[in-house]
Structure 1
Amino acid sequence: MIVRARKVTAVALTSFLLAVAPAVGGAALLPGQLPSAAAQPDVSVDNTDGATGTVSDTPMTQAGNPFLTLRIDTVAPSTVTTTSDPFVTVRATVTNTGDRSVQDVSVRMQSAAAIDTTAGLRTSLTLDQDSFDRVGNFVTIADTLEEDESRQFDMSMPLRSTTEPSLDIDAPGVYPLLLNVNGTPEYGGTARLDDARFLLPVVGLPRNPDEQDPVAPDASPLPPNTRNPVAMTVLWPLADIPRLAAGLPGSVDERVRLIDDELAGELADGGRLDTLLKAVEFATQPNLDPGGNLASSLCLGIDPDLLVTVSNMTRGYLVVDNPADPASTAREGTGAAAAARWLSRLEAVASSNCVTAMPFSQTDLGAVADIDDAALLRGALTAPADIVDGILGITSTRGFTWSSTGGVDANTADALRSAGTGTVLVADNSLSPPTPAPTSLLLTGTVPPTDTEPIAPLAATQYDAATATALAGVGDTPSTPALTPNDQRFDLATDSRTARLQDALGAVNFHALVGTDRPGRTVTVAPPQYWTAGGDEPSAILSSVSSLLRSGLATPRPLSDLLAEPVSGPPVNSIDAATELDARTIALVRSQSARIETLMQSLVEEPQSPLTPRLYAAPLREDMLRALSTAGRASSIDEEAGTMARTRLAATRIGLDTIYGSVTVLAPGGVYTLASEQSPLLLVARNDLPLPVNVLLRVDAPPEMTVSDVGVTQLPARGSRTITVPAEVDDTRNLSVDFSVTTLDGSRLGEVSTVSVRSNAYGQALAIITACAGALLLLLAGRRLWHRFRGQPDPADEGYERP
């Protein structure tokens, strides 16, 4: 990452007693904004060739803080047109963030040459000050600025002029501008203490008010070249970070639980998701988009996880106090009404606009492919369109996948193709070799198709990576996409929100203004899927696109037309950023996903119940995808997102353990006594799940006992069943037998129940004794009958007299 370094400490500040050059330039404070403003000298080094050199690094305090911090508040106009004022006005705030007062605080405006490459949209913001060679005068904005004191000011400079210094902008384009602040810290010398940079899109030049000759070129406005407009497709993301509490199975009557209530604020009036949707509603209304050009070029990219969450919120929901324990205490959620209103508005917008489903929860497709779980892959890529269509009542664009990381490797490409994806959207800098073709054949790791075994090809279409990076910087949580080159990275915290919006506007306009002589110009604009733009920012960006379409600088290219483009040019490879998920996380998702699939195979569907095994297990499988979400991972909340993922996995594991423990064998009290060596055992198995479940009985018996397999047993929902277990014992001692139930693939459910068995089996000895007793009985009975037949009294009857 490039940091606009401030390396010189206060100890070395006295070395900045630089030569004072004569003041040149014409930037001026607007009248009435501040007290008397006097021109100040530029802090530069005199040289023989007349060039201006600048201090390479700004000084810092001993604590490592800058002495002054400059922030851009507003830029007017944000985009220059032929009808704009002929000057640019910047409102900014300078703050003393050092450890001492600063005297003679002065500011000037500078500009650099127009950007001519997409990479320049980012690298121009890290140029050395020497590159900003169109300069104005330094103007004093404060005689002294004490510690923690701030001063806001307005500064204006002509776009072009023949009588005074100007920004020297003479043609449409995108121009880097800079505000440079000088000052003299106490005990030090005058130095450049900070600067602030931003991009200024110029789609047309107003007339030069200084030009008196009516036939001079500058006397008339200079419109842009519209002879070769760029075909533009815009993806508009509606997504959020995962909010549903983890580890809870599906239900038809219980309210969902969320880990926090922040989504309620985002859906409410003025919230982030409200402003993203409102911008589309406003910009596509018939009076502003009469020809439907903006609506044609626009396609909503919707995260199905967001729709699942919002749809459940409309029925009332709870917010857990401890996300690591979703079953713990919870409070009432406050966003049910806001969710219902937002969802209703989205249904109306979606019914008349292009809609495509993002991968579920913006999941890391590379990680899903590495896990190699077919059910998980279906949940990430196939189910999203069904979810979006079912909730919104529409038919979304299918066979299209928007990569959440900006690229796909060969393994991921194979997974996409197996899931039915025909075209994948990736960043242009992920493709090799680079290609201007709208769609290209994407090479994968699979053996090429043959005539006997055809395989559907996978096409890659591209969005401009530099524009995506600029758009990612917009909002309250700016981010830098993973595939952004190092020379285009810098600390976004040094720029104000206004400056970052200006950079995005410059990037959006760039493709319409540059390369107008190149045939077949196309561009796809794609912000990050989790986009934190809010306030007026979404409307400003869509308004800029709409202006390009109205002016003829761009033409709409619907997503459907892009997907219908035949592949052209050489086949390409795509790279993907290395996953930020560690091996332990991947392994845990793989193992828990397998447990979910095992559970699914054992659950039984009841025709009379609205709850099905698929609906019951769906939230658990979705938890796996939420744990792999890329939302927030490229921004300042990366560490928080990682913690949330680990918490989610832990909660899901606990939830699955609870579900598995809800089906068990009940331990009988006391000792189980068998009446014979082949008496059956009677066991009770209980199922506390809301669905019937098929189980197998697992027995761990000693060698003296033989237990027959009872096969599959179905336990009723929230009920129990007695299982008769045929057993044979050939020993008389007490035995301990372990019983448990398992899923159909042998995964144990519940706890092991140990049964003490006492057998009355005497084996061979009992048989001999019984035989002997029978023989004796027969002998005695025969003897009695013998004496009776002979009429002789039986000696056994002696002493017995008849009555």
Structure 2
Amino acid sequence: MAATLAAAVVAAAAPAGGVPQADALPAPTSPADPAVATTWVNPAIRPGETEIPVSLQLSGSPTMDSGPVAAGSDLSVSLTLRNTSDEPVSGLELSARRAQPVGSAADARQALAAHDSQYAWYGLTAVQDEVLAPGESRTVNLTVPTAPGADGTLTIRDAGVYPVMFALRGVDGSVTTERFLLSAEDPGSAGDAEEEAAASVPPFSLVYPVTAEVDVTPGETGEAVADPPLLLRSEQLAGQLADGGRLDELLRVYEDATVGAGGSLELFHASCLALDPALVSVVDRMSDGYRVAPDRPDLQAPQRLRDSWTQDDESAASDPGRGVEDAQAWLERVRAVAAEGCVVSLPWANTDLRAVADADDAALMNEAIGRGPGVLQEALGTTGVTNTVIAPGGYVDPAVVDAAGWADHSSGAAAEDGAGGAAPEARNPVRVLVADNTVPAPAQAGDEEAIDPRFVELAPNVHAVRYQGSLAATLATVGRQPLTVGYSNTATRYDYRVDSEYSRAASAASALRLTVAENTAPPAAESAPDPVLAMLPPTLDPDSARRLLSAAAGVLADGAAEPLALGAYLTPNGSPAALAEGAEPGAPFPDPSVITDTEIIQASQQAGYLDDLTRLMVNDPAIALTRYGFTQPLRHELLNALAATGRNSLGGYDDAVARASRELNANRDTIQELRGSVALLPPGNVYTRASESSPLLLVAENRLPLPVEATIAYAATDPDDAIRLNRPGTVLIPAAGSITVQMTADIPSDQDQTQISLWLATPDGAPISSPVDISVQTRTGTAGLVVLVALLIVVMGLALVMRFGRQRRKKGADRPRAPAPDDAAQ
């Protein structure tokens, strides 16, 4: 009944025709916003469970820690109750219940989201009379029987996967539940499985992603000979690499499960480390030493010589990094795994390929999917599995397919200088790993040429390789930040955090076993069983990884599956299927985590500016640094900003959006500063021509480490468009230098003064520097003014002379005369 109802709900929620639904939002929108809330959490699923004042979580189970539980044995669990209210709580009722066993991972997901009435088998009930104070936590240990006929039993007679629920009811009637999938096995069936293993069990592969945020201080550019000194914003990556850190433990869990003492060599051959090339590159650089600073020194601005005598050095202070030895040790361990086992590259920084494709920049996509194997080769000594794209969101859209030629690593499609170029066509098959419900394919007719239905041809030499989406969606819910993936049915979406990390890991392990059993063919089957690929999530945590690898090793050890290398999984047993007519690849359900239009536009503009800057520079044989190598780190910053990691999580979305905004803004500032490094410097704001052949002199400055080839563009305040500047075709400005540019101007004789704006541009016309404004005036236009000023001076001078003369004569007439001699005698 429950499975039938679940299948009906899934069918009702499934989109028709396989039409992609993952349209981007205009701007980032928090999962709490009503506009998108229902695409994250279906309000009809487990309503009110987060409102009860006491939370309930499964914190451990000695029974399940060792693997599947024997049918009929006791189930021991530890449950943690926590009072999240401001009032004391008592009279809580705790009960164990189960639903009927499920037959597929899709049914299991539906059962975990089903109404509690479907958990119709009641087991043990315990009343918690003790008062639970505000904020207090208490652990309750229970032993729940499963043998038929026992008191409080869940009645599990047969092997299978059972949805189990612990319900906590308050005195006010509110209920919260803790749910997980319990794997039960029949001890007497092991021998039969071994006898049938060779003919009926499915081949099994597992992809184990290793990625983390790499917080390189923004503003890095390439340098000659080698990478620039590594500058990190913080020591968070060093903490992950240190003993007990996430990256250290993730690798240790894999080593212990495969090549360590007691490990499974079958699992080692069936599994593949999916490594983030951005992470590998940074750890490799950390191993050679690094420094920590939140900001990078500004690019050196031009200054007068006398200013340099008194100006202090304003370079940002930095501290030496403490994770050098841990980086060295971790990298050596990865090299040891890669030397004997399988590694494959993730997209750079686990970036969202849909967003990169929509940014429509060839160089950016080149870095996203073309650069990885080369980085692995340089750091680890092997390229790993090539010509393979692992879609971070589990699906791709047509724009990604069009750019997939960059992943044709075997033909060298990932060019050193990809700026401004178009995506190459794939000359060799490129395999794109996606969830099975994101690429619809027609059914195979009996008389057709044999095809492998896992492979769908998306474009010439671009093949989708499908894996079990229901299993992958369940695996994605493990860890502290469970993921809501775009290919998951909206009928199964809820806040997965209502169940504990332990429960979700147990459910994921059970779903893995269930999918293997689901794909097991009967002994007399005419066709071989379909292979199973377990695609673990990029946010994998060590505890969940340990449980999942244990489950994988278990199905291989029990003979329920046989190991299949990833390279073999990527090799079809027949021809790829044709894409269904009118269908396109994409997410079959709304994906609320996609990068938004606003962010894509920002990234596209910045990528275009980087292309312009790259084309402006000229490679010089005497300089080891290339123009593409100089701007390459800034493209990596853009890919970091478009990273998918954390974005498809209810608890991580807002932080991921804030991080993307910071990185896009920081990258914008750096690009603006670099654009200001190439500038025109006029000798003055006014230029006076003695004649029509008088030269107009400008200084073109270049503070970049490579020569710059530019043109001079201009605009004049001339309504008749009669003004012409006689400019050189192109100007080659030396690296970290300047050059004087001489031009002449054709200006109509009736125009005494003209305003002209000039700027530097790329050879194809894209502006690259800020404009400078100058006034141009002719000598004839100033002659009349000079004569007039001279006449005024003469007139004023004459006026002053005449005035002084009159004043002297007047003073002479008024002065008293001396008495005559005769008069004095009288």
Q: In the TM superposition, what whole-angstrom CA distance separates every residue of 1:572-628 from its partner, at most 9, and x where no partner exists? A: 553226573332322222222222112111211222323211111111222332232
1:697-776 maps to which residues of 2 (within 5 A)? 697-700=712-715, 706-727=724-745, 733=752, 736-757=755-776, 759-760=778-779
Task: Select 1:606's aligned residue among 602, 620, 625.
Answer: 620
1:294 aligns with 2:267: yes
**What is aligned with 1:681?**
696
Q: In the TM superposition, what whole-angstrom CA distance separates every residue of 1:519-568 from its partner, at most 9, and x where no partner exists? A: 4132111022x31413x332221122112111211111111112221335
1:460 aligns with 2:434: no
Change (3 A) 1:548 1:676: same
Q: Distance in 1 between matches of 2:755 and 2:161?
A: 83
1:566-645 maps to which residues of 2 (within 5 A)? 566-567=574-575, 571-572=579-580, 573=583, 574-576=585-587, 580-635=594-649, 636-645=651-660
1:205 aligns with 2:223: no
CA displacement at 1:721 relative to structure 2: 1.3
1:94 aligns with 2:81: yes
CA displacement at 1:318 relative to structure 2: 4.5
1:545 aligns with 2:532: no
Task: Select 1:343's aligned residue among 326, 331, 334.
Answer: 331
**What is aligned with 1:43?**
none
CA displacement at 1:260 relative to structure 2: 4.1
The more displaced of 400-409 and 327-336 is 327-336
Q: Distance in 2 between matches of 1:92 and 1:137?
A: 14
CA displacement at 1:114 relative to structure 2: 1.8
Which amino acid counterpart does residue 770 of structure 2 have in structure 1?
E
CA displacement at 1:66 relative to structure 2: 0.9
Change (3 A) 1:609 1:110: same
Change (3 A) 1:360 1:557: same
Q: What secondary structure is seen at the aligned counterpart in 1 of 2:634?
A: helix
Q: Distance in 2 between matches of 1:620 and 1:419?
A: 26
Which amino acid counterpart does residue 720 of structure 1 have in structure 2?
S
**What is aligned with 1:476?**
480
Which amino acid counterpart does residue 377 of structure 1 have in structure 2?
M
Paired residues of 2:441 and 2:456 also in contact (CA < 8 A): no
Normalising by structure 2, what TM-score? Answer: 0.75
CA displacement at 1:757 relative to structure 2: 4.9
Paired residues of 2:280 and 2:376 also in contact (CA < 8 A): yes
Change (3 A) 1:59 1:642: closer
Q: Distance in 1 between matches of 2:765 and 2:241?
A: 46
The more displaced of 253-262 and 166-175 is 253-262
CA displacement at 1:82 relative to structure 2: 7.9
Q: What secondary structure is seen at the aligned counterpart in 2 of 1:119?
A: helix
CA displacement at 1:671 relative to structure 2: 5.2
Q: What secondary structure is seen at the aligned counterpart in 1 of 2:623?
A: coil
Which amino acid counterpart does residue 668 of structure 1 have in structure 2?
P
Q: Distance in 1 between matches of 2:772 and 2:99?
A: 79
Q: What secondary structure is seen at the aligned counterpart in 1 of 2:710?
A: strand
Which amino acid counterpart does residue 354 of structure 1 have in structure 2?
C
**What is aligned with 1:660?**
675
**What is aligned with 2:215?**
243
CA displacement at 1:390 relative to structure 2: 2.4
Change (3 A) 1:752 1:107: closer
Q: What secondary structure is seen at the aligned counterpart in 2 of 1:171?
A: coil
Q: What secondary structure is seen at the aligned counterpart in 1 of 2:371?
A: helix
The more displaced of 712-721 and 380-389 is 380-389
**What is aligned with 2:10?**
none
Q: What secondary structure is seen at the aligned counterpart in 2 of 1:145?
A: coil
Paired residues of 1:440 and 1:571 also in contact (CA < 8 A): no
Change (3 A) 1:81 1:624: closer
Which structure has the highest helix share of the two? 2
**What is aligned with 1:431?**
439
Q: Distance in 2 between matches of 1:408 and 1:520?
A: 27
Q: Distance in 2 between matches of 1:596 and 1:82?
A: 58
Task: Select 1:357's aligned residue among 342, 345, 349.
Answer: 345
**What is aligned with 2:42?**
none
**What is aligned with 1:488?**
492
Normalising by structure 1, what TM-score? Answer: 0.77
**What is aligned with 1:781?**
none
Paired residues of 2:759 and 2:770 also in contact (CA < 8 A): yes
Q: Distance in 2 between matches of 1:682 and 1:354?
A: 62
Q: Distance in 1 between matches of 2:653 and 2:633?
A: 24
1:275 aligns with 2:275: no
Change (3 A) 1:183 1:664: closer
Task: Select 2:278's aligned residue among 305, 328, 331.
Answer: 305
Q: In the TM superposition, what whole-angstrom CA distance separates every residue of 1:169-196 from its partner, at most 9, and x where no partner exists? A: 2232222122223443xxx5xx464321
CA displacement at 1:322 relative to structure 2: 6.6
What is the alpha-carbon root mean square deviation over aligned residues?
3.4
Change (3 A) 1:128 1:756: closer
Which sections of structure 1, spanning at least 5 residues, go unmatched? 1-55, 207-219, 447-455, 766-803
CA displacement at 1:409 relative to structure 2: 2.8
Q: Distance in 2 between matches of 1:128 and 1:354?
A: 43
The more displaced of 78-87 and 625-634 is 78-87
Change (3 A) 1:307 1:764: same
Paired residues of 1:369 and 1:415 also in contact (CA < 8 A): yes
Which amino acid counterpart does residue 773 of structure 2 have in structure 1?
T
1:647 aligns with 2:621: no
**What is aligned with 1:209?**
none
1:114 aligns with 2:96: no
Q: In the TM superposition, what whole-angstrom CA distance separates every residue of 1:42-68 from its partner, at most 9, and x where no partner exists? A: xxxxxxxxxxxxxx98988xxx84132
Which amino acid counterpart does residue 235 of structure 1 have in structure 2?
V
1:66 aligns with 2:52: yes
1:525 aligns with 2:525: no
**What is aligned with 1:9?**
none
**What is aligned with 1:398?**
386
Paired residues of 2:104 and 2:515 also in contact (CA < 8 A): no
Q: What secondary structure is seen at the aligned counterpart in 1 of 2:765?
A: coil
Paired residues of 1:677 and 1:761 also in contact (CA < 8 A): no
Q: Distance in 2 between matches of 1:582 and 1:386?
A: 30
The more displaced of 394-403 and 170-179 is 170-179
Paired residues of 1:734 and 1:756 also in contact (CA < 8 A): yes
Paired residues of 2:218 and 2:295 also in contact (CA < 8 A): no
Change (3 A) 1:59 1:625: closer
Paired residues of 1:142 and 1:151 also in contact (CA < 8 A): no
Q: Distance in 1 between matches of 2:124 and 2:152?
A: 8
Change (3 A) 1:164 1:723: same
Q: Distance in 2 between matches of 1:409 and 1:91?
A: 45
Task: Select 2:229's aligned residue among 230, 255, 265.
Answer: 255
Paired residues of 1:248 and 1:652 also in contact (CA < 8 A): no
Which amino acid counterpart does residue 194 of structure 1 have in structure 2?
T
CA displacement at 1:248 relative to structure 2: 3.4
Which sections of structure 2, spanning at least 5 residues, go unmatched? 1-44, 300-313, 406-423, 445-450, 523-527, 785-826
Which amino acid counterpart does residue 769 of structure 2 have in structure 1?
G
Q: What secondary structure is seen at the aligned counterpart in 1 of 2:768?
A: strand
Q: Distance in 2 between matches of 1:277 and 1:664?
A: 50
Paired residues of 2:72 and 2:148 also in contact (CA < 8 A): no
Paired residues of 2:619 and 2:627 also in contact (CA < 8 A): yes
Paired residues of 1:473 and 1:500 also in contact (CA < 8 A): yes
**What is aligned with 2:164?**
177
Q: Distance in 1 between matches of 2:204 and 2:189?
A: 26
Paired residues of 1:320 and 1:331 also in contact (CA < 8 A): yes
CA displacement at 1:249 relative to structure 2: 2.3
Q: Matched residue pairs, number? A: 675
**What is aligned with 2:397?**
409
**What is aligned with 2:571?**
564
CA displacement at 1:514 relative to structure 2: 3.6
CA displacement at 1:496 relative to structure 2: 1.1
Q: What secondary structure is seen at the aligned counterpart in 2 of 1:432?
A: coil
Q: Distance in 1 between matches of 2:636 and 2:612?
A: 16
CA displacement at 1:670 relative to structure 2: 7.1
Paired residues of 2:682 and 2:697 also in contact (CA < 8 A): no
The more displaced of 411-420 and 485-494 is 411-420
